[in-house]
Amino acid sequence: MRKRVTLADVAARAGVSTASASLVLNNRPGTRLSATAAARIRAAAEELNYRPNHTARSLRLGSTRTVAFLSADVTTTRFASAMILGLLQEADAREHTVLIAETGNDAARTERALLTMLDRQPSALILGFMQARRIHVPPVPSDVPVIMVNGASDEQHPTVLPAEHEAGRQIASVLADAGHTDIAIIGYDPNREPDWGETVTIGARFAGIDEVIAERGLRVTGYRARRWDPDVGFEGMNELLDSGAEFTGLICLNDRLAFGAYQAMQLRGVRIPDDVSVVSFDDDVIAAHLRPALTTALLPYEEMGRRAMEMALSDSIDPQNLLVPMPIQLRDSVRELRS
C-alpha cells in the first residue's frame, strides 16, 4: 500500500477545497454546499479509500479520543483480563481507544507512567488495581477526569468498587439460611490488622459477615491469615479440624483458600457438603470446577471495567462512588440443614 491519502487528495479529486471536503465528510449541520458537490466529495473519499489522520485531527481538536488505563499488577491475577475486557467493550461502544500501561506497585513508576500518558492528552484516566488499595495520585490537569477501579485515592477521585459489604452479608446469609449455626472462617481476622487498612474493600467484606453473625447469633471459629493462597487454606483447614472445633459451615475469604480447604477435607475424608458446607468469594476460574462446585460471590471485574469507562466518558460524573453488585453463584457446596 502506498502513502496514506489525505483530505487534500480527496478535495482535489472532487474539485473543491479541503474546507468543503472537511465540512461534508463530517456532515456538519448548517453547511450550505450543493448536493452535487457533496456527492462528488463523498464519492472521491470512497474511491480513494480516505481515512482521516487521527493525529492531525487530535491536534486541531485538542482531543484524542483515547482513554488511558494505568494498571497496578496486570500480571498477578487472572481478573485483570476481565477488567480490561469491560473497559474495551465500553470504550469501543463510545468510539474511543484505550492506551494501557503498567505501573507496578511503585509510586515513582506510577508517576512516570501517568506523565507519559498525560503527554498523549487522553480524554480520561482510569487507574485500576488488582488488590484494592488506596494510593496517592499526582496532580492531573483539571479537565481530564480520573476514575479509580477497585481502588481509591487520597485525592477523592470517583471510584468503582465491588459491593463487598452486601456480598459479605449475602454469603454469610447463605449459610445461616440453610440452617448452619456453627461456622468456621478461614482468612478472617477478628482484630483487623492495621495493614488491612491499605485495602479499601476487604474491611467492608468483613463487616458484612460480622453483621450477619451478630444478627443470627452464629457461633464462630476463625483461622486468621493474611495471605490468601491455597496452601494457607490447606493448613487452616487442617488446624481447624485438629482443634476439634465443631462446625457445619465454612466461609473462606476467597476461592483460593477454599481450594486448599477442599484438598485438606478430601484427604481427611470430610465430605462436602454432607459434613461441611462451604461458601466463598471471587468466583475464580476453578470455583465452578471444584467437586462439588463452589458457591461463591462473583467479583464483577468485567462490569466494573465497563462502568468505569462509562463514568470516564460521560460528561456528568453523577455518582462519585459506584458499588457494583457481587452476584452470588449458588452451586453445590452448601447443604440445607433440616432442623
Partner DNA sequence: GGCGCGATGCTAATCGTTTTAGCACTCGTG
Partner DNA sequence: CACGAGTGCTAAAACGATTAGCATCGCGCC
Task: Specify the residue, 37 or 144, whose C-beta has the smaller distance to a second copy.
Answer: 144
> Residue 315 CB, nearest distance to DNA (Å)?
17
Site string for a second copy, 261-280 (x = CB under 8 A): --x--xx-------------
Residue with C-alpha cell 471471587?
282
Q: Which residues bind DNA (CB under 7 A)?
A: 4, 6-8, 15-20, 22-23, 25-26, 28, 32-34, 36-37, 50, 52-53, 56-57, 59-62
Task: Specify the residue, 7 or 264, whose C-beta has the smaller distance to DNA.
Answer: 7
- The one of a second copy, DNA, none whose footprint includes residue 8, by CB under 5 to 8 A per kind, is DNA
- Within 30-59, the residues that bind a second copy by CB under 8 A are 51-56, 58-59
Nearest to 50 by CA among 14, 97, 91, 95: 14
* Grid cell at residue 74: 496486570
> Residue 294 CB, nearest distance to DNA (Å)?
52
DSSP calls for 72-127: E-STT-TTHHHHHHHHHHHHHHTT-EEEEEE-TT-HHHHHHHHHHHHHT--SEEEE
Candidates 114-122, 158-166, 184-192, 238-246: pick the segment binding a second copy (CB under 8 A).
Answer: 114-122
Count CA atoms closer than 13 A to 85's CA, side-chain side: 9
**From residue 5, how far is each of 12, 27, 38, 52, 59 by CA, in Å?**
11, 20, 19, 8, 18
Task: Specify the residue, 118 or 178, whose C-beta has the smaller distance to a second copy.
Answer: 118
- The one of a second copy, DNA, none whose footprint includes residue 28, by CB under 5 to 8 A per kind, is DNA
DSSP H/E element including 147:
strand 146-153
- The one of DNA, a second copy, none whose footprint includes residue 81, by CB under 5 to 8 A per kind, is a second copy
Distance CA 193, CA 207 (A): 14
